Amino acid sequence: MPDNLSFEEAAALTEGAHYALVDIRAAKVERGQNVLVYGATGAIGSAAVQLLKHFGATVTAVCNTKNVGLVKSLGADTVIDYQTQDFTKAEDRFDFIFDAVGKSSFGQCKPLLTKKGIYISTELGRNGENLFLAVTTPIGGGKRLLFPIPSISKQDVVFLKELVEKGEYKPVIDRHYHLDQIVEAYKYVETGQKTGNVVIKMAE
């Protein structure tokens, strides 16, 4: 457990972050690359923004109006408010587009990718298309969709712990609930409107 986190903060250390880490590594993100994160305020997206900055990427983050300030504080270089802007109209081209909420598609994002750009979504896509595209798109050697299988190791947990202690990563927490409020907590998460993580407090 990082020395500079409370127990409640530490509970959210790996939730979201390990998914983001797997996908960032699969995309082989390098220092100086241009990356777009769609859904930058969820547990996965908020972690991805911070981790990408650690790896030296230039980050464009897509979020709603109320969270623009939060996403900037996480280190995003550019923020697109999807409630007032269409991210698909962005003039930049990206080496990696990471949809952390599964609400876009490869077809929609493909024009925004560089010639060998990579698209990853956390969801299967319409009719499970992302599984099919993960097999077919690498064949041509151009723009690709990848679908990494999430995993986590002790080394990953230690890596995240060290980033927290260096001040380079901190899990975003939206709300805290007591154990007897767990139904209410699930209902809130199911609205799809949470920012970062929701933590259940087991005992005082």
Evaluate whether residue 118 is within a structural domain: yes
Evaluate whether residue 180 is within a structural domain: no
> Quick one: pLDDT at residue 149?
93
Please report which helix (H) or strand (E) contains residue 149, including its range.
none
Evaluate whether residue 47 is within a structural domain: yes
Burial 86-111 (b: 16+ CB within 10 A, else e): ebeebeeebbbbbbbbeebbbeebbe
Evaluate whether residue 29 is within a structural domain: yes
- Strand, coil or helix: 128: helix
Our count of domains for the chain comes to 1
Evaluate whether residue 187 is within a structural domain: no
Evaluate whether residue 190 is within a structural domain: no
> Quick one: pLDDT at residue 204?
72
Q: Are 45 and 99 in contact (CB under 8 A)?
A: no
Q: In terms of residue numbers, what domain contains 17? A: 8-146
Evaluate whether residue 163 is within a structural domain: no
> Quick one: pLDDT at residue 94?
98
Evaluate whether residue 105 is within a structural domain: yes
Task: List helix spans (H) across 27-153.
Answer: 43-54, 68-73, 106-109, 129-136
CATH number at residue 128: 3.40.50.720
Per-residue pLDDT of the chain (204 residues; tens, 9 = 90+): 998 999 989 999 999 999 999 999 999 999 999 999 999 999 999 999 999 999 999 999 999 999 999 999 999 999 999 999 999 999 999 999 999 999 999 999 999 999 999 999 999 999 999 999 999 998 888 999 999 999 999 999 999 999 999 999 999 999 999 999 999 999 999 998 899 999 999 877
> pTM for the whole thing?
0.93
